[in-house]
Amino acid sequence: MSSVRWEVEGQDWPNRAHSRFVRTAMLDWHVQIAGPENAAVLLLVHGTGAATHSWRDLLPLLAKHYLVIAPDMPGHGFTRGRISGGQSLPGMAKALGELLKKLGHPAPAVIVGHSAGAAIGARLA
């Protein structure tokens, strides 16, 4: 589980203005959302050992054309809590699907994943 604290390490977090915290069944997600609300949804899924900072330079560029959703995956960055099924590929994809439903965007038009994030994204699709 992540030990970083938003009130400390989050003070100069990249794209902080786009950060929000969203509660699902077992998780308190840190997610960054940027771009036009009526645009196609583009989901960014980082890899193991990373967080939304992985997309620090890309997120603002993509947000010109898409509604970008970039979460810190469970156990990473500022997302807190545990998922049922542990940090497994099916468990992570299910948890991510729950977040997207909560945000009102259950089926993103585009999923971009880095490393393990690509496998999670493929499972989600």
State residue 85's pLDDT score.
72
H-assigned helices in 18-88: 58-62
List the chain pLDDT tens, one digit each, 125 residues: 457 899 999 999 999 999 999 999 889 999 999 999 999 999 999 999 999 999 999 999 999 999 999 999 999 999 999 887 778 899 999 999 999 999 999 999 999 999 999 999 999 99
Task: Please report whether residue 3 resides in a domain.
Answer: no
Task: Please report whether residue 2 resides in a domain.
Answer: no
84: domain CATH number?
3.40.50.1820
At residue 65's C-alpha, the angle toward residues 60 and 71, to 5°, is: 50
Residues in the chain: 125
Task: Please report whether residue 1 resides in a domain.
Answer: no
Task: Please report whether residue 16 resides in a domain.
Answer: yes
Write out the residue range of the structural domain in which residue 41 sits: 9-124
How far, in whole angstroms, is CA 43 from its chain's centroid?
7
Task: Please report whether residue 112 resides in a domain.
Answer: yes
Task: Please report whether residue 4 resides in a domain.
Answer: no
State residue 18's pLDDT score.
98
pTM: 0.95
